[in-house]
Structure 1
Amino acid sequence: MRLLFLLLVLLSFGFAQKLVLVVSFPNPPRKLHLLLQSAQEVGLEVQGVYLRAEDLKSLQLPEADIYLVDTPPEEIRKALQEKLTGKRLVFLSPPTAGDPQVLSKLLPYYSSGGRENFKNMFKAFAGLPAGPPRELPAVGFYHPARGVMENLPQDFEKPLLVLFHRSDLVAENTAIVDSIIVQSEREGLPAVGFYYPETEGLRRHLHKLILEGRPLPSVVVNLRLMYFAYEEEKKAFEELALPVLQGITYRGRKEDWKKNPQGISVTSIPFHFTLPEYMGAIDPTVVGADQPLKEPLLHMVENLVKRAKAWRDLQSLENSQKKIAIVYYNYPPGERNILASNLNVIKSLELLLKTAKDRG
């Protein structure tokens, strides 16, 4: 009886229509998976397409009457608009175009995100009774055992802070974040996640991380890709004045990474190494893979957390107690050739050692 009622409702609202969901990078593939699952639980038949920028040259999309799209990169939005001229397109994120009636009905659910909201969104889309949107803060703290928190609870004293994308939280794609937090707590270092939207920089949210001029965390692990607001991130890292370790998510399967003698692809170097280094992040380490879903590499997570704890412990030492090794790059090679590609290594070492001595 319930299925018959659902069928009659869908037909009465014209949903013999074909629906296609289009989700693009940097959203995780898991988000599309969760959307499709939510639509199917409501009884809708939908198809899904996950896009990366490199897919645009040979872009093929299923035929549909309406396309629901989530694609932050402008180049992908423009390509879809050109490819689907004359079709009903609704851009849910960012909400830039589409049928205003459909957009106003779906956006409150979609912008909050999460399984329950997605399910109610598709109910509203199909004209079925739907509960109100369950709001998820745009920015907040996260812990696998305590959920989302708008502010850092007082019992998290000088924690390790894991920076990650809000879209991973929305898509229930936090396995790597969870693993880092759990491993950190095993090492005796409190840990908590901090999420914010992909297109925003950390600097506008520093008021949540700095109290009376002092940073609340002791060390930071960054899991975010920083190509949208990297200048803001750079300034934020400078103002925090804390060690920021760069965690890398391998684009592919864990097994492929283990077998790959190269490790990270050449095309990933700007996002995982160059930009983070420019912003002040150090010690880039692969901590997981993203296919089919994000999954941690436990031994690499353990290595990263131990180094993060060592950085935290250094902060409690007097400068006179710290032992520093200086490694310099010597090219062209030679015992008496301290050049580092013709840079003035001797002068740099002199300044570095003098500064270190002046600071104890």
Structure 2
Amino acid sequence: MHRIANDAGRLDLERRLESVRQSPAEIVFVSSADTELSALARIWGPEFGNRLRLMNAASLQHPEAAEHYADHVLFNARIAIFRLHGGKAYFPKLLEELLHIKSHGATVRTLVLAGTDEWDPELATYSDYAEPLARTIFDYFREGGITNYEHAAKAMGALLENQTGPFPEVEKNPTFGWYSASTINNQVHCNGRVWITFYRAWQQTGDLAVVDELASELNRLGLEVSNFFAYSLREPEAQEALLERAETEPPDVILTMQSFSIGRMDERISFLESLGCPVLQVIASSESRDAWIKNPRGLNPSNVAISVALPETDGRVLSTVVGFKEFSKIHRELEFQAKAMVPDREQIRHVAELSKNWAELRKTSNSEKRVAIIFANYPNRDSRIGNGV
């Protein structure tokens, strides 16, 4: 099923063609989230075995990869579930191919769901099931957690038997909270208090090696550490929880591993900056360490956009990358290789030292501080020194 080779994105490095090798199976689950795929490999894998295939949606953004996967895997599936972050605009070719194979005899039944916590009516038009059923499945993944993933597995088993319910009730899980790492000992500290904020998805799936390592290193340097997970720091309830903690245990430094900007155009400063201490942006890359080392620019364009450029609009201080996505386990029956965040200990030590220095600077009286002002001279003429570009 070949198409005219004029598809957008062929030269886009973010949509590079990758080899996609999977054989067909009854159930196919495509997701934008490595954490979700890894969790399903652990929970759905024993239930469905070689009847299940898992695939990261990013691998299907290239037009040729989307076409190949649709023709060779999706065409032969009985059920295909998609959890797509970014909506139709990020996966136009994949969704086009889905319609194409159906028009050429594929009997696969689909559930196309948003990869965020908001229902996407545009994506829902690609689903073959009634909206109430699709929303139930969507809620399982939006809430996350082992119980909901098990409920979703039971629902898939029922759908394979052409049963459309009733399905177990969705278990509600908190969208934010404080996480206590087992490696932390806050009984002995003297150098300051550090908060780490990170994504709820890591807490849900136990992908916490980077958070634990960073917290442990900070603790080793005599810093008290508190870890806060949230789906989004824009949630008023999450902000209230942080403000409540700040009343009794105010931070000296905040390290946030959450990307994007949380400020609004009508705000002079964003929420984290309103807490009155330095806020450092700590990057967890979506690529491997090897890719980071080999890239002359370090991070790829999407990581730069969401983890450097946008956070800077909030006034955050950029630190460096402390973790990378690496292959962690091969699930041969599923023909899937799971990924997990892996800490970079050298980089973590650097960020921990940096945090300690910021905490000490915050407690230093102004009379003892030495201030340096650096002027830009871009374009590079002396007459341009201090020029705003």
Quickly name the TM-score band, shorter chain normalised.
0.7 to 0.9
Contact kept, 8 Å, 1:18 with 1:66, in 2: the verdict is yes
Q: 2:52 is matched with which residue? A: 46
Q: Which moved more, 1:281-290 or 1:155-164?
A: 155-164
**Deviation of the 1:79 alpha carbon:** 5.4
CA displacement, residues 261-281 of structure 1 (integer Å, 9 cap, x when unaligned): 432234533223221211111
Taking structure 1 as the reference length, the TM-score comes to 0.74
Number of residue pairs aligned between Structure 1 and Structure 2: 317
**Deviation of the 1:323 alpha carbon:** 1.9
Contact kept, 8 Å, 1:330 with 1:341, in 2: the verdict is yes
**Deviation of the 1:285 alpha carbon:** 0.7
Counterpart Cα distance in 2 of 1:339 and 1:269: 27
Q: 2:324 is matched with which residue? A: 289
Amino acid at match of 1:142: Y
1:93-132 → structure 2 map (5 Å cutoff):
93=115, 94-96=118-120, 97=124, 98=127, 99=129, 100=131, 102-103=133-134, 106-107=137-138, 109-127=140-158
Corresponding residue SS for 2:153? helix
Counterpart Cα distance in 2 of 1:165 and 1:114: 14
Corresponding residue SS for 1:163? strand
Q: 1:249 is matched with which residue? A: 284
**Deviation of the 1:39 alpha carbon:** 1.3
Counterpart Cα distance in 2 of 1:169 and 1:144: 11
Corresponding residue SS for 2:40? helix
Corresponding residue SS for 2:313? helix
Which one has more relative contact order, counting CA pairs under 8 Å at least 6 apart? 2
**Deviation of the 1:250 alpha carbon:** 3.0
**Deviation of the 1:299 alpha carbon:** 0.9
Contact kept, 8 Å, 1:53 with 1:76, in 2: the verdict is no
Instruction: Structure 2: give runs of 5+ residues left out of the alignment.
Output: 1-23, 103-108, 328-339
CA displacement, residues 236-294 of structure 1 (integer Å, 9 cap, x when unaligned): 13322321111122342223434544322345332232212111111331112112221
CA RMSD after TM alignment = 3.8
The alpha-carbon distance between structure 1 residues 331 and 54, as it changes in their structure 2 partners (threshold 3 A), is: farther
Counterpart Cα distance in 2 of 1:197 and 1:51: 21
Aligned with 2:178 (options 134, 138, 141)? 141
Counterpart Cα distance in 1 of 2:144 and 2:245: 33
Q: 1:299 is matched with which residue? A: 346
1:152-301 → structure 2 map (5 Å cutoff):
159-197=193-231, 201=234, 205-211=238-244, 214=247, 216-226=250-260, 229-231=262-264, 235-292=270-327, 293-301=340-348
Amino acid at match of 2:80: Y
Contact kept, 8 Å, 2:25 with 2:52, in 1: the verdict is no
Q: 1:21 is matched with which residue? A: 29
Contact kept, 8 Å, 1:246 with 1:281, in 2: the verdict is yes
Counterpart Cα distance in 2 of 1:35 and 1:142: 22
Amino acid at match of 2:81: L
Q: 1:67 is matched with which residue? A: 80
Taking structure 2 as the reference length, the TM-score comes to 0.69
Counterpart Cα distance in 1 of 2:208 and 2:83: 20
Counterpart Cα distance in 2 of 1:331 and 1:109: 52
Q: 1:83 is matched with which residue? A: 97
**Deviation of the 1:35 alpha carbon:** 1.1
**Deviation of the 1:226 alpha carbon:** 0.8
Q: 1:55 is matched with which residue? A: 61
Contact kept, 8 Å, 2:378 with 2:384, in 1: the verdict is yes
Corresponding residue SS for 1:191? strand
The alpha-carbon distance between structure 1 residues 192 and 77, as it changes in their structure 2 partners (threshold 3 A), is: farther
Amino acid at match of 1:316: K
The alpha-carbon distance between structure 1 residues 263 and 207, as it changes in their structure 2 partners (threshold 3 A), is: same
The alpha-carbon distance between structure 1 residues 212 and 112, as it changes in their structure 2 partners (threshold 3 A), is: closer
Instruction: Structure 1: give runs of 5+ residues left out of the alignment.
Output: 1-15, 148-152, 345-360
Counterpart Cα distance in 2 of 1:324 and 1:249: 31
CA displacement, residues 152-203 of structure 1 (integer Å, 9 cap, x when unaligned): x9999973122222222223222211111111111111222222225x6266
Q: 1:8 is matched with which residue? A: none
Counterpart Cα distance in 1 of 2:93 and 2:303: 23
**Deviation of the 1:297 alpha carbon:** 0.8
Counterpart Cα distance in 1 of 2:272 and 2:306: 17
Amino acid at match of 1:291: E
Counterpart Cα distance in 2 of 1:189 and 1:138: 27
Contact kept, 8 Å, 2:199 with 2:229, in 1: the verdict is yes
Contact kept, 8 Å, 1:272 with 1:284, in 2: the verdict is no
Counterpart Cα distance in 2 of 1:92 and 1:330: 46
Amino acid at match of 2:44: A
Amino acid at match of 2:79: I
Q: 1:315 is matched with which residue? A: 362
Q: 1:351 is matched with which residue? A: none
CA displacement, residues 85-144 of structure 1 (integer Å, 9 cap, x when unaligned): 354224264444343454365455433323454234313432499987654311112122
Q: Percent identity?
A: 22
